[in-house]
Structure 1
Amino acid sequence: MNTKRITEAYPLDLLLLADPSEKLVKQYVGRGECFIAEQNGRTIGVYVLLPTRPETVELVNVAVAEQQQGKGIGKALILDAIEKAKQQGYKIMEIGTGNSSIGQLALYQKCGFRITGVDKDFFLLHYEAEIIENGIACVDMIRLTMKL
């Protein structure tokens, strides 16, 4: 798997796997750096790094093609994002996910992130349609942070 930065022709179908709001995805992709993972010439994953404050970057979208999920690619993308952020001089990386995203919460913590806060009602305020994952209403944004 190779990763590279892209500046156009974003894989919207993949980005929407991790964030169902096309409006929000287009906003942050335009402000951040989008990286894709390729394998045998096919795009199999994507992530976006978004500078938020001096020395701080947020990993705002991590997605893996459905047929490639469960193979460790998500973890590889997160570790790649951490390395790219370090290379760019960032000192802190943040990530947020829904309270119902049980697998993602576990993965982020396995990669070294720690829960640092909750944005109550985030998904109720910023998303038009209700989101249900794992039989749980996605209501709050769980914030996690890592010192790089």
Structure 2
Amino acid sequence: MENFTFSLLHSDSEIPYHLLLLADETKEAINQYIFNADIYLLHDGTENIAVMALYKKSTMELEIKNIAVIDSYRSKGIGSILMDKAKEIAKENHYKTLTVGTSDTGFQQIRFYEKNGFIKSGILKDFFIENYPAPIYENGLQMRDMVLLRHHLTE
């Protein structure tokens, strides 16, 4: 596989909204978490091909707030590379749990997280109804609930 560079975005750098919007519906929604998250970029030598935003939910829990890969690199294992990096970062910083939330209509995303060792841990009822100004559709269905998934880290 190609040589990829993984880096933490400096706080004075421009936020890569064009990448973050691949996984979140609005800039306003991204702004709810992005200023308190660490943003990581994956670069292929010519362009940024993926982004991941990690949020310190507590001293024990690190949350993946956003993870996205550009279209031309999807289904090539890049998402799993990012997941491995997230687990590595969480372990290095002594977190016990890595969590993520996704739409109940995001069947592919749920399968992806489960494939990477996450298990369903809860539902936030009506999350997308209450937190977004207009209905959002995915896979022909209105996004309603957020599915929470959790990965317990081992030492």
Q: TM-score per shorter chain, which class?
A: over 0.9
Q: Note if 1:81 corresponds to 2:81.
A: no
Please state which structure has a larger fraction of its residues in strand.
1
Match of 2:126 among 121, 124, 132: 121
Partner of 1:3: 6
Extract unaligned runs of 5+ from structure 2.
Answer: none
Please state which structure has a larger fraction of its residues in helix.
1
List 4+ stretches of structure 1 deviating above 2 A.
Answer: none
Partner of 1:70: 75
Bigger-Rg structure (1/2): 2
Extract unaligned runs of 5+ from structure 1.
Answer: none
Q: Distance in 2 between matches of 1:52 and 1:31?
A: 10
How far off is 1:55 after superposition?
1.2
Bigger CA drift: 85-94 or 109-118?
85-94
Q: Which amino acid aligns with 1:110?
A: K
Query: RMSD between aligned alpha carbons?
Result: 1.0
Aligned residues: 148
Structure 2 length normalisation: TM-score? 0.92
> Could you tell me the percent identity over the aligned residues?
33
Q: Which amino acid aligns with 2:116?
A: C
Partner of 1:52: 57
State the Cα deviation string for residues 98-125 of structure 1 (Å, max 9, x = none).
Answer: 0011111001001000000000000000
Q: Distance in 2 between matches of 1:21 and 1:79?
A: 27
Partner of 2:150: 145
